[in-house]
Structure 1
């Protein structure tokens, strides 16, 4: 798994959008035994923290120590630094395994073999994420130019799985059809810029060009944002599967 997020770990924790409680409630409704859950590539721990209200014990891992240092704490969350493709957990340990906004970074073959090892029979696996947000028409025009024209060459190849709404990722489970969810926020201009700053493509652009690409749209976007309702809407991605004896990696 690539580590694209250590550098901006504090911003990631502050500016990345949360998943709505209704989506979490919907996910855990498929889990019969709420004993032990695992949040892989936990980042700032937002999903792990939400799961901790429903499970006796939650484990959460990430390859970035800086991300873990900024993670939300709870008495029943155990954080550890390790890869999602090769963990230290016992066979058939978890009732639920979740990956939020990260499964596209994994070596799918190695990852799913590990999931089959550590997920309980009939356990639930979920891949969650969010796509490109939309906002008012004027700001959308600026942001889509930024996304598709300015930083597009600086995305890692794996980004395409998000653009394809996770529909094209390998998914070797008995899949459960899911409801559609979205998340809406009112964002200050600082929150908008803070979120853009967490994009891996922005960081890659800065590293290669020694310039922040956000500067290219900053003034125009600030004017547009100041004259808008400041609403943003994220399409949420969710695939849920159950592990059974008929599944094959």
Structure 2
């Protein structure tokens, strides 16, 4: 898998959105056993941290040591630097595997083979992520223009799977129809800019052009931000769950 997130990994931990607690409560309710969970492509460890509140032991992997160095800690989380497609975990080990905003970077076939190898009977695979941020009609229009017209060509090809809400990824498992979830947060404009600066396409743009396009975007967004220090922002949660 690619590693687009080792640089400024502390920003990734600080500015990326979390996931709603209701999502993890739901996963707990449908998982037959709660002994072991694997957060694959853990990034800043936010999912591992939530799983650790609900499972006896959580294993979290990423290809980026820098990300893991900035990850959320708990006594029952074991972090390791490993690719998703080839790990040192035992056969028939996990009750639940979660991949959050990462599966589009994986080699699907090799990863799914690793899933089948490492899960217990009746275990679940949860593929989740989040769609485009929603703030207000005016701010959303500015961000959408930036996304589609300024940095569009700088996204990796794999980004299309996120744009397609993970509905077009290969998913060769018996799928469970899950409820819809959304993550609603209170952000100020500084947090929004920090989040936009974590986009991999922005990093690619800076590397190729020598300047940050978010600086100009910030001026446009501030025109529509108004007097409110904080605004309600919403991320629709992408979710596919399968019995392995």
TM-score (norm 1): 0.95
Matched position secondary structure for 1:224: helix
CA distance in 2, matches of 1:56, 1:11: 29
Which residue in the other structure is 2:61 paired with? Answer: 61
Equivalenced residue count is 243
Correspondence for 1:247: none
Gaps of 5+ in 2: none
Q: SS of the counterpart of 2:133? A: coil
Provide the C-alpha distance between the structure 1 equivalents of 2:222 and 2:32, rounded to a whole number of angstroms.
Answer: 48
Aligned partners of 2:9 and 2:96: how far apart in 1? Answer: 26
Q: Does 1:29 align with 2:29?
A: yes
Aligned partners of 1:151 and 1:27: how far apart in 2?
A: 35
Gaps of 5+ in 1: 244-249
- Give distance in 2, aligned partners of 1:208 and 1:72: 32
Distance (Å, rounded) in 2 between the aligned partners of 1:27 and 1:157: 30
CA distance in 2, matches of 1:28, 1:158: 30
Q: CA deviation at 1:60?
A: 0.3
| Structure 1 residue 227: Cα displacement | 4.3
Residues 1-150 of structure 1 aligned to structure 2 (within 5 Å): 1-150=1-150
Quick check: 1:236 aligned with 2:214? no
Contact 2:39 2:59 in 1 (8 A): yes
Aligned counterpart, 1:216: 216
Greater shift in the superposed pair: 211-220 or 232-241: 211-220
Deviation of residue 40 (structure 1)? 0.4
Within the alignment, does 1:205 sit opposite 2:229 as a pair? no
* In structure 2, C-alpha distance between the alignment counterparts of 1:61 and 1:121, rounded to whole Å: 22
Which deviates more, 225-234 or 63-72?
Answer: 225-234
Counterpart CA distance in 2 for 1:134 and 1:9 is 24
Aligned pair 1:171/2:171, yes or no?
A: yes
The separation in 2 between residues aligned to 1:59 and 1:217, in whole angstroms, is: 38
Q: Deviations over 1:127-183 (max 9, x none)?
A: 010011111111111111111100111110111101111001111111100101111
Q: Please name the residue that 2:186 is paired with.
A: 186
RMSD of Structure 2 on Structure 1 (CA) = 1.0
CA–CA distance in 2 between the matches of 1:165 and 1:220? 27
Secondary structure, aligned partner of 2:30: coil
